Structure 1
Amino acid sequence: MARRTAQENRTTIRAAARELFAEQGYDRATVRAIAARAGVDPAVVIRSFGSKADLFAATVDVELGIDLTGDAPTTPDEIGELIARHVLRRWEQDDVLLVLLRTAVEHEPARDRLVEVMSGQVVPMIQRLGVPADEARLRATLVATQVIGLAMVRLVARVEPLASASHDDVVRWLAPTFQRYLTDPL
């Protein structure tokens, strides 16, 4: 079997860690178990990332990628649907957000990272709509209640009928709420 490069090891370890953090949460996922899943010695995990906490931070590095200034024709009246569609797609395509969600309940750094993602990425997006910073933080928090609730019910607990509802139906149901949180008077 060919030896992997340091970068290949990092990629493999990060993927194994993401799976275990998602399955077991931060506290129960051990460096030894992550190493076993990645097919490396635990020392390689530590040499590659420094610590379990550093590995977790590298695993949950995420960009939401919501761009209100891009090419998509977006008016303030369409922002709720744009965000609902984008967020739903991100939750369903990238398990890093689920890793954050599942671990945030028990692990303060995960909670901090989840807040950082919402405030660091969603607040500036809302401010681009001309909303002052304090109000943008409140609006982002309101959006986060729906985003996190949706992910918990649809993707973690898999509660029906929401778990198997079509993407378009979920967007249709959530978009007006996002729209209200983002543009209606508070």
Structure 2
Amino acid sequence: MNEDDILSEFRAAQALLEGHFILSSGKRSARYLQCARVLMDPLRASRLASSLAARLPREIRGEIEVVVSPAMGGVIIGHEMGRALGLEAMFLERPEGTFELRRGFSLEQGQKVLMVEDVVTTGLSSREAIKAVEKAGGTVIAEAALVDRSGGAIELGVPFVPLLSLDFPVYDPDDLPEELAAIPAIKPGSRAS
């Protein structure tokens, strides 16, 4: 899939939104990708995951032993990446505000992990998830994501492979452009509280 094909998938799912959005990082944006909508069609989710898996460098793909994703946003794409790679997939949760493996999920010491996210903006959640995997005994060897919103600024300490890189401007809440400040802000993601 090329970039136009991928964006077509988002548009077909009505997952490319415009307005005033509060991102999970706290930053603001006039555009938002609702990955849950693009992933609600199992065939579309499978196509996107297969395309993302194909972008992983061969040397990384051959080393991965398990896929781990942070809940909530990464669960579906992580599961589909596991399917595309023929590997088990598990997820991290934040029952007390910090990521951890639960539900009987565990990693063997040194087990090589592909971290999979839906959207990465600042990388904060990714870095927290990587620490949780390390605490559980695993070793994250790469991260893959449907969308990189960082503008290429992400530094996770491991190779990062996005399916799509978008450079939507993001703003601090106290430094909004006039036209964005005039629109009521909504928090559309999984942590909308």
Larger radius of gyration: 1
- Asked if TM exceeds 0.5, the reply is no
TM-score range relative to shorter protein? under 0.3
State TM-score, norm by structure 2. Answer: 0.26
Higher helix share: 1
State TM-score, norm by structure 1. Answer: 0.27
Higher strand share: 2
